[in-house]
Every structure is written in structure tokens, then in C-alpha cells.
Amino acid sequence: MKFTVRTLNLILLGFVCVSPLAAQDKDILPVPESYRVEGVPPIRTSEVSKLFYEQNEIRSNLIWDADKANRRLLVTDETRNIYLLDSPLAKPVKLTEKAVPHLVRFSPDGRSFLFISDHEKPDTFQLYLYDLKDRTEKKAALLTGKDESIESAVWGKSGDAVYYTKIDYESKTSKLCRSAALAETCFEAKLPGIWYVLDADEKHLLLKNWRSSSTQSLHVFEPETNTLSTIADKGNSPKGSLASGYVVYSSEGSDVCKGQACIAVYDLKKGRAAALNFPGTIAPSHDFKISPGGGNLLVQETRDGIDHLRIFAFKNGSLGKEVPPFIKGSFVIWNTRWLSDREVVYTLENNEKPTFIQSFNLATGEAANWTKGRLPAALDGTVGPPEVIRWNSFDNMEITGYIVRPRTKTGRLPVLIRVHGGPQVQDRPIFDPTDALLALQLGVSIIHTNIRGSSGFGRSFMDADDREKREHAVKDIRTLLDWVEKQKDLDPRQIYLQGQSYGGFVVLSAAMHEPTRVKAVIAESPVVSIRGYLSQSWVNDFMKTEYGDPKDEALMAKLDTLSPLNNADRWNKIPLLMMMGKRDGRIPEANVVDLKNQLQKQNTEVWYIYSTEDGHGVGGKYVTATIYKFLKTQIEQTKRRKQNK
């Protein structure tokens, strides 16, 4: 869908004046011209230079797609360009320079690939075809609507055409189209709302209708007859593939899955579905892939943010023998692909190691590295492997997260608690150089949380913070503070919160309710008022389902009691670092400015960064340095207060 969870925007009403002395001091880190800052002290370059490394010192690679015809890969790196990787550990060849792809797919013969990108206009995705022989790219479809976007595309089995949907966010309709030799034809199928194309075979196109993250349905379209049939419309079915007369799909809350999460098979001839019978228990599926010949099924299951790959023989819609486990260690796994019927390739990473690509051959039982991650020596071994934590919230619901601990520090350490945006996403233990740097330089333990509302833990968990239950998500963080107090290696007197977008709302609200236990807050483009958030013209049915109907005054009044904007008088002068981008259209600007001004009038220590060039997310060298300086300042002040008692 077009909405992405990153961060929010406002107008700066005041400007900071940098003292002439600071302006003349060559050791002062310059404030970017596009930034306006308030309350941020001068930051010395000599103090923060240890936070930064050359781009080539940290190397990571992700798979974009696999060429089954020629056993090669399209990959990306930190720059998000597209590279061609001909063989394991070969030097990647750069193919694109400016495009930041949303999706990449090889053609069946491997001679070309399609990609979707919004590099020409942010949030407006377009479809391109790249010819590997000529090394040229061409636009495969034209957008004619005011707010149109192409966000899904697949190749036909023969490779002579590409199928895609055009989503018109203004009219709230989608069109299913076909591009052959760069000539476009759109079908007459009526598709109200947001639709994606997931797969294609000789006779069928598999489509998904997205209504919300917890309400997605699957349908099959037959181009020859222009007919649309429903495969799964009860519960939530986010993923599916066509496989020799069957549709294999993930579902939750449906009759087929008996109200639980499962992977099911729909027989296109018989018109009926059944859940696959996996040996033992299987965790919620993050992804699955059918092998090219349809004889194997790869399932990627996720347990508490850690991924596991399982491969089963697959025939006539049923499972056969399982391949023994073949990945050693705890990893997050991305972009699994089949290279052939007997070889699978995938990307691995965790909070210790940046991404690298590996393949596994089912016939030989051997794994091969296609790329190798690289870290500066100072960051290598800085933190330990992923460590899942659990705590019970106020209603005894189990909440999980993971903790990143510095290897070289001892005693009770300061704690930084992070809350992701969304809320329907999942924080997983990926490699984050900021975590490693804060652990190394400040001796901080970082807790990443997946409070209720996060994805990956079942539909009921994802819906457990909706509307009037918003306060329950805040309570998940408040009960985490209780958990921290019981840990022998964490200091409950040094608890700091950080959140982005919706996560910013949670940490601000939690700090408001915990005025003595929370020592400082970092809020990146935060939601500060649910009422204000829902007052905007772009708010859709998904947002109303998640947060509530803005016309429901009783609900809005209840949510006002949680909103930081309405309760600034309860803030208790907790130091705050806030960041906003002018191009962020997700939150009313005046709301965030109002909160900032209220807190400043109360003599709260507010550090504020406003970027005229950024949108829903403000980043870069100066922001990283400011976060470090802010945390270091608060940690030192807390230590002094403890010593003076």
C-alpha cells in the first residue's frame, strides 16, 4: 500500500542562534543548511567523529531476485542500487544508479528484469523494464491518474508480458493491466480499493485485495474469460502463489485454518481449500516459496523475530518429507528465492552481523556464501547475539522484544527502550550500526520492543491496540519498566525511551504516565494527538479501523487523555529530543509545534531539529551526532544526580 510508516512533519516557529564563538570554532560540527535547530548545544567534531565510518567500511548485500535460467542474482548494497552477481563471491556489477527499487523481478529467460521505483516522484511508483544485453531501462507503463501508483508486478510464465495493477488513491480503485513489448492493455475487471497482483501461470492471475494489514483477501482472475473468482475472503490472507492447479496461501482467522494461522492449499479444479498438515507446530509464516517445478515448498517461519527455514517435498497439494535444518545460528532472513528445484538462496543478518547472501543445495547438503558482510574492526564483536526477552503486561498478555547488550561493559547499565512505528510492523534483530555504536561508546543496553499491535504474532495480537484499546499499548511499555527493575544488569534509574512516528506517540505517552522512572525521551516525527492525526483529509478506512472514527466524540475524548499534546502539564520536565521534516505530510504541523512550545514554556529541556528537505524521517550525520550527544548528556546528568544524593 502507499502509506509507509516512517515519520511526521511541522513548521518551525523559532530559530536557534549559534554563538559567534561556536561559528568560528573549526571543531564544531556544522549544522546542515536545511536544518533549523533549537536547544541543541554545539557538538564537537572531535567528540563524535568516532561514530562515523566510510560507506565501504560496512558492507551488506540483499537479494533482489534470482535468475533460475542462468544461476545468478540481482542484489543490492547500502546504496540500494541494483547489481548483477554472476556467481558466488564474484564482484557485483552495478546496473542502476538513481533508482531505489520497491520490487525487482527477473524475466523467466533471465534476459531482462522489471523493477518498480518512485525515484522520479516520491510515493508514486512506476514500472520499468531493464534489458541486460543493451544495459538500458524503459518505462513499461504510463500513469494517467492524479494519484496513481504501480506497486506490484509479475511476469507471465512465458515471459512475453508483465502483469500489474495501477492503484488510484484518489478514486480508491485499481486497474489490472498487461504490458507486452511496452504496449499496455488493461482488463475490464472491476477492482474497488487497493489490489495487488501476486503471481501468474498460463491461465490465471493471483490477486490480493488489501483492506487493512489484518484484512486481506485472495482472488483468481482468468484473462481469457475476464472472470474473477474468490479464493479466500475470510480472515486475513496476505500471501499466495500458484502451483500446478493449486493456490498455496497463508491465512489466519479463516474457517480453513480453524481461526488460527496456517498455510492452506486451494484446489482450482475442485474449488475447495484445506490447511496443510505440517509435522509438529509451525510458527506464523513470514514467507513461503514454491520451487520452480512445484516439487518443494520452502516455509520461512518466525518465532519472536528469529527466522527459520523449513523445506518440504510438495506433491498434489500435500506435504512430504522435510529437509533437515541447514542454517546454523539465530538470524533474520530476507528475500528467499529458488535458484533451481534443488537450490535455495537467501539473505542472513542479525544484530551482530550485516547482511550477507548464502545458498543451500538440497542434493549435496552444502551451503555456499555469495557475498560476505564487512564491519570496521571497532564494531566487530561489540554486541552479543540476539537475545529474546518476554514480560507480562497489565492484563497478563505476553509481550516480547529483544535486547542488545554491550559485550565489554559490566554492572547495571543504562537502558534505551525503542518502540517502532506502524504499528503493524515487527522490530526484528537486524544489524543496526547505531545500536553497536551506542553500546560501544555509551555502554547502553538497547531493548527493541514488539508491543501489542505489532505484526508477526497473530491477528488478535495485531488488533489488540485498536481504537479504545490504544492505552493498552502504552501500558505494555510501562510494565516493561517493571521488568527492567528486576534485571541485575540494567539500571532502573537510567531508563530512556525512543520512538518514531506512532512509536513516538507511545514513548511520549508512556513518559507522561511515568514522570519519575523515565529520564529522557527521543521522539522522531512523533504522533502527538490521535484526534489531530485523524483530522486530515487523507485518512482512510484502515486508519479509522486502527485508531477510531474521528466522528466518535466519546472515543476521541478518551484518546485525548493519552495524547501528549493535550497533557503537556503532566510532562514533569523530562528532557526531550524531537525531530521533524517539512516534507512529511502525515501529521498536522501545528500539533507538534504546539507541543514543543508548551514544553519550552514550562522550562523543559527540549532539543529540536527541523529539516526543510526531509519528510517522514530525518536522518544523517548531524542527527546521529545529536542523538549520541543527547543520550550522553542525559546519562552524565543522571550519574551526577545519583552521586549528589
**Strand-strand pairing, 413-419 and 490-500:** parallel
Going by the DSSP 8-state scheme, the letter that residue 21 receives in this structure is H
Average pLDDT over residues 115-133: 91
String of DSSP letters for 493-542: EEEEEEEETHHHHHHHHHHHH-TTTEEEEEEES----HHHHTTSTT--HH
Q: Side chain identity at 489, as an amino acid letter?
A: D
25-55+377-644 CATH pick, 3.40.50.2300, 3.40.50.1820, 1.10.260.40, 3.20.20.70 = 3.40.50.1820
Instruction: Using a cut of 0.85, tell me whether the model's pTM lies above it.
Output: no
Q: How confident is the model at residue 286 (pLDDT cuts 50, 70, 90)?
A: low
Averaged pLDDT score across all residues of the chain = 88
Structure confidence by residue, pLDDT tens digits, 172-220: 899 999 999 889 999 988 899 999 999 999 999 999 999 887 789 999 9
Other beta carbons less than 10 A from residue 564's beta carbon: 27
| Cα(498)–Cα(416) distance, integer angstroms | 7
Q: Side chain identity at 644, as an amino acid letter?
A: N
CB 619 within 8 A of CB 7: no
- For the chain, the domains span 25-55+377-644
Average pLDDT over residues 112-122: 90
> To which H or E segment does residue 232 belong?
strand 227-232
Q: Side chain identity at 121, as an amino acid letter?
A: K
| Cα(313)–Cα(319) distance, integer angstroms | 6
pLDDT for the residue numbered 58: 67
**Strand-strand pairing, 240-243 and 227-232:** unpaired
Where b means 16+ CB within 10 Å and e means fewer, 313-326 reads ebeebebeeebeeb
- Among the residue ranges 139-143, 210-214, 411-415, the one predicted with the least confidence is 210-214
pLDDT for the residue numbered 81: 86
Cell of 223: 484473462
Structure confidence by residue, pLDDT tens digits, 147-176: 899 999 999 988 999 999 999 988 889 999
| Cα(158)–Cα(136) distance, integer angstroms | 22
pLDDT at 268 over 50: yes
| Cα(32)–Cα(41) distance, integer angstroms | 14
Q: What percent of the chain has pLDDT over 70?
A: 94
Going by the DSSP 8-state scheme, the letter that residue 355 receives in this structure is -
Cell of 582: 517539512
Other beta carbons less than 10 A from residue 193's beta carbon: 13
pLDDT at 230 over 60: yes
Phi, psi at 326, each rounded to 5°: -130, -5
Residue linked to cell 507522561: 512
> What does the chain come to in residues?
645
Structure confidence by residue, pLDDT tens digits, 584-607: 777 778 899 999 999 999 999 999
354 closest CA partner among 332, 335, 369: 332
